[in-house]
Amino acid sequence: MRNVVILFFVLIVTCLSPAATEARKVQKAHRMTASWYGSQFLEGAPMANGEPFKAGDPSIAAHRSWRLGTTIVITNPDTGLWLIAEVKDRGPYIGGRDIDLSWAAAEKLGYVDKGVTTLLVAVVHKSSRKGHS
Point out which residues pair with 32 in neighbouring strands.
Answer: 119
User: What is this structure's pTM?
Assistant: 0.76
CB atoms within 10 A of CB 94: 10
Measured distance CA(54)–CA(79) in Å, rounded? 24
CA trace torsion 41, 59, 82, 33 (10° rounding): -50
Q: How many residues does the chain have?
A: 133
CATH architecture of 27-125: Beta Barrel (2.40)
Per domain, the residue ranges of the chain are 27-125
* pLDDT tens-digit map of 2-61: 443 343 443 444 455 555 554 445 558 999 999 999 887 799 999 999 999 999 999 999
